Amino acid sequence: MSKREAVDEMLEGCGGAVEINPQRREMIKAAVANREVLVAANGALATWTPPESTGRSPKDTLIVKRAASQDKIDWDSPNNIPVSEETFEMLFADALEVLGGKERLYVTDRVLGADAAYALPVRTVSDRALTVLFTDNMFRPVPEGIDDSLFAKKSFTLLALPYDKLDRSRYEGRLRKLPDGRTTDMAVVIDLDQRVGIVYGSAYCGSVKKLMFTVMNYMLPEVGILPLHCSANEGPDGHVALLLGLSGTGKTTLSADPERALLGDDEHGWSDAGIANFEHGCYAKMINIDPEKEPEIYRAVMHEADYLEHGSIVENAMVYPDGHFDFDDERLTPNSRGSYLLSELSNIKPSSVAGHPRTILFLTADANGVLPPLSKLTPAQAMLWFLMGYTSKLAGTETGIVEPQTTFSRFFGEPFMPCNPDVYAGMLGERMERYQAEVFLVNTGWSGGPFGEGQRMDIKLTRALVKAAMNGDLDSVEYREDPIFHVQIPLSCPGVPAEILNPRDTWRDQDAYEQRARKLAAEFAAHFEKAYGSKNIAPEVAAQCPGR
């Protein structure tokens, strides 16, 4: 019996009620009635998770190691943590038993992928109405022509038990030990061969989202499609731009541009036909959101509507007794999130598909304050920065992160890119060359000094820089090479003061800048040697690594 058949058998024999593909209004109504959410003053749904579930838990995110797929997965990556087949079978059996004893279950059938040619069907089963409502926000309706999809016969099943906990004694020696010596009671597990995922004990909605996008990032290269952790939008002239970056670097904020039609804010595939979004909605950070600087996201979450028509989910934000949010209060977590439909934005491309990109932006939130706010990359530099995926990991995006940390996450999404690195790197290099995309590095982090001394880049200035790059306004300006990081710094940019373009000029203490920049460059060199020293990296690419 296949895993899907076992799930279907559980649903048929379940002692409680089973709601299969309920209407959106019914999901909302059930989430409120079950006290999974509160209705905020504007009609959005507010929810809070336990302290251990305010972000992803990478150390509890596991991939089943099976003979059929093990050579395709980079087990050297600290993010690809193997779990045995036997332990997975225990987890699956426990999940079925617990779900089968619930009073009510909810099931949604959706797909990932706006291009029906490779849309992946996914069935989600949960005892929480909020979880399936989240899938209704984030996953796409089943399109016509799904039977012709490359994955029509490779559907995925996701079991979500966000508030149930594992029996620690049962999994002693099988799952990780916590610092206090106990065994974890949480697991987010992917079986890529049997096409099953389990979210057990993690109430953070992002665990559901990222599990499924990791699956897509594994399956797509096998059919010649490059998955990218990026947002995408299209200008009135039809020119497409991609924005790659880790959580907290500004993908969602910068791609929500009223002058450009949004395809999606987080995950896309690049096929021979062009770009296609995976998602049906957005999952944006809400902490310190400014309605003037981020009007599109703010309106999508904060517009007023009857709660049965609203459906936006606000996770882990402070709410006062009168039902109003305080997005500047981060006592719960800096990782408050808003999940909303793409259709809530004022300018989207409903099909979520477009042609090949003309502009690619690599976003980094540099807490050192030493990278330019924008710089142009040669093809070799683009490959180097894609491999390195540098940013400063910001507080709240993962459990336990309270201060910015220097992070190298290849392809700007290493935790969600399970295949061997040469697969993704080779595919991007081939596409950049074939379609002649211009690549820029954009620092959305600090200027004038490091975190704690300098200032975060003004979003209005960053928007002006991004707009110039997307519109081709930087194609004819003069550039100067940064001597430490090798990137090309523009000497001018429309609408941006020239004095902020070179980060060295924004520091009062030039010697302090030099020391900080060379320290970061040394970190680049050390990481490159560790991650790629034994790999067959082209010399012209390796030569672009700072500090080497």
pLDDT by residue (tens digit) across 6-22? 999 999 999 889 999 99
Q: Is the pLDDT of residue 1 over 90?
A: no
459-515 residue pLDDT tens? 999 999 999 999 999 999 999 999 999 999 999 999 999 999 999 999 999 999 999
pLDDT in the model for residue 392:
87
Say if residues 339 and 58 touch (Cβ distance below 8 Å): no
Task: Render the burial of 305-343: b for 16+ CB within 10 Å, e for the rest.
Answer: eebeebbbbbbbbbbeeeeebebeebebbbbbbbbbbbe
In DSSP terms, 18 is beta-bridged to 105
Count Cα neighbours of 306 within 13 Å in the Cβ-side half-sphere.
4
Say if residues 371 and 503 touch (Cβ distance below 8 Å): yes
Residues of the chain above pLDDT 90, percent: 89
Q: What is the rounded CA–CA span in Å between residue 482 and residue 200?
A: 47
The domains found in the chain, sorted by start residue, are 3-11+51-222 (3.40.449.10), 227-278+351-542 (3.90.228.20)
Q: Which amino acid is at 124?
A: T
Q: Is the pLDDT of residue 445 over 90?
A: yes
Sign of CA dihedral 64, 65, 67, 69: positive
In three-state secondary structure terms, 542 is: helix
Length reported for the chain: 548
Q: What is the rounded CA–CA span in Å between residue 517 and residue 510?
A: 10
Q: What is the rounded CA–CA span in Å between residue 279 and residue 352?
A: 9
Mean pLDDT, rounded, for 163-182: 97
Mean pLDDT, rounded, for 520-531: 95
pLDDT in the model for residue 400:
58
Return phi, psi of residue 164, to 5°: -90, 150
Among 163, 155, 179, 201, smallest CA distance to 61 is for 201
pLDDT top residue among 380 and 353: 353
pLDDT in the model for residue 403:
62
Say if residues 320 and 329 touch (Cβ distance below 8 Å): no
Catalytic residues: 56, 210, 229, 247, 251-252, 266, 337
Q: Is the pLDDT of residue 401 over 60?
A: no
Q: What is the rounded CA–CA span in Å between residue 323 and residue 307?
A: 13
